[in-house]
C-alpha cells in the first residue's frame, strides 16, 4: 500500500473525530467506564485488526486506551490505517 501525503492524511482526518497526526502515526485516546469495558473493546478491536491483517500500537492503563496506527512496511500512514481507524470508531461507538 502506498504511503499517503500530509495533505491526504489531513483530509482523511476530517472524517475521524478526535484522531490526530503526529510522528508518522494517527492516534486517539479513548476513556471507558472501567478496565473491564476497556479490555472488552480492546478484544473486539484485536479480532477486527486480525481480520484486516493490520495491527495497532496501543497502550492501556486502567480505563484509558491509546491507539497509534501506521503502516510499518510503507514507512508512514496508508489507507490501511484509516480503514482500521474507522473500524475502531465503529466498535467503540457500538460499545
In the chain, % of residues over pLDDT 70: 99
User: Residues 8-31: what's their mean pLDDT?
Assistant: 96
The three grid cell numbers given for residue 44, joined into one nine-digit string: 473486539
Per-residue pLDDT at 95 exceeds 90: no
> What rounded mean pLDDT belongs to the chain?
96
Q: What is the pLDDT of residues 29-74, one digit of tens each?
A: 999 999 999 999 999 999 999 999 999 999 999 999 999 999 999 9
Question: What per-residue confidence (pLDDT) applies to 1?
Answer: 83
- Each domain of the chain, given as residue ranges in start order, spans 6-93
Distances, alpha carbon 80 to alpha carbons 16, 46, 65, 75, 95, in Å: 14, 15, 20, 12, 23
**Whose CA is closest to 38, among 56, 62, 59?**
62
Q: What architecture is the 6-93 domain classified under in CATH?
A: 2-Layer Sandwich (3.30)
Amino acid at each position: 500500500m502506498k504511503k499517503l501525503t500530509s495533505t491526504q492524511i489531513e483530509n482523511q482526518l476530517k472524517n475521524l473525530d478526535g484522531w490526530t497526526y503526529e510522528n508518522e502515526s494517527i492516534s486517539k485516546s479513548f476513556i471507558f467506564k472501567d478496565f473491564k469495558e476497556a479490555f472488552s473493546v480492546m478484544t473486539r478491536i484485536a479480532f477486527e485488526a486480525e481480520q484486516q491483517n493490520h495491527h495497532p500500537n496501543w497502550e492501556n492503563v486502567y480505563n484509558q486506551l491509546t491507539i497509534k496506527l501506521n503502516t510499518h512496511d510503507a514507512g508512514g500512514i496508508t489507507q490501511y490505517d484509516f480503514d482500521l481507524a474507522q473500524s475502531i470508531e465503529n466498535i467503540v461507538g457500538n460499545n
